[in-house]
Structure 1
Amino acid sequence: MYIVLITYTKPLDEIDYALPDHVEWLKRQYDAGYFLASGRRQPRVGGVIIARPMARGKLDALLATDPFAVQHLADYEVIEFHATMTAAELARVNEASPVV
């Protein structure tokens, strides 16, 4: 699995302008089964995405299509981890084969 930390690199007015496109992009990734959770960081300096297991290159390719990335509005830090304990709701995710 991955945790993606997004950090804004431009003022919030530029972020807010691109936000509807970013939200649509997120919805497409959920519909495709790639993302498990996402939301704003507090304070509002960026966001967080929890992504399913997949090839790292696939995740990098997905992130490159985010409107925030395309418009150079944010930086991305990707943290890969292997969950050894999960809540029952997430147990299926950890046991599932990686999305490729």
Structure 2
Amino acid sequence: MYVVLLTYTAPLPEIDYVLPDHVEWVARQYDHNHLLASGRRDLHLGEVMIARPMARLKLDAILATDPLAVKHLAHYEVVEFSATRTCPELRLLNEAIPH
């Protein structure tokens, strides 16, 4: 599983111009079952996304298609972790429990 910290690297007017395309991109990632959660960071610094377990190269390829990445308007920090404890709603994603 991954936490993706997206930090805007351009002025907000440039971000706002591309944001509708980015919002559509995020929706497609939910449609493809790649994301578990997402939202804005405080102070409009960027966003946080939680991605399902997958190969890191696959996640990198997905992130590279984000319009903010294509236009070089954001930096992505990816933190990989193995979920060993989860709330009941996320039990199927708990990598420590055999399924």
Question: TM-score normalised by the shorter chain: which range applies?
Answer: over 0.9
Percent of aligned positions that are identical? 67
Q: For 2:91 and 2:26, how far apart are their aligned partners in 1? A: 23
- Aligned letter for 2:40? R
Normalised by the length of structure 2, the TM-score is 0.94
Alignment of 1:9-88 (within 5 A): 9-88=9-88
SS at match of 1:43: helix
Normalised by the length of structure 1, the TM-score is 0.93
Unaligned runs of at least 5 residues, structure 2: none
TM-fit CA distance, 1:16: 0.7
Q: How many residues get paired?
A: 97
TM-fit CA distance, 1:94: 2.2
Show CA shifts across 1:4-59 (max 9, x none): 00000000111111011001000111000000000000021000000000000000
Unaligned runs of at least 5 residues, structure 1: none
- Aligned-residue CA RMSD (Å): 1.5
- Aligned letter for 1:16? D
Runs of 4+ in 1 over 6 A off after TM superposition: none
